[in-house]
Amino acid sequence: MKQLLEFLGVVLLLQGAVGLVHSFTGELRGWGLVQRFGFLDGYETYVSVALIVLGCALLAALRSPGAD
């Protein structure tokens, strides 16, 4: 279960990073999931930052001493 959550944290980090790169440069079109949802139009940057924060929080929680 811990490995699955670590994988999810890394995926969240990567999706957030790809979303930010796409928002600022227009590159990496088709790589991120954030751009595929129409209801997020105009909020892609905020959602990408939120994904990065959630990914970091998940990985930090898994690395805490009480997580074992």
- pLDDT per residue as tens digits for the range 38-62: 888 889 999 999 999 999 999 999 9
Pairwise CA distance, residues 56 & 61, whole Å:
8
Confidence of residue 35 (pLDDT cuts 50, 70, 90): confident
- pLDDT per residue as tens digits for the range 6-33: 999 999 999 999 999 988 888 877 788 8
Pairwise CA distance, residues 15 & 32, whole Å:
6
Give the number of other CB atoms < 10 A from CB of residue 37.
11
Question: What local confidence, expressed as pLDDT, does residue 68 receive?
Answer: 63
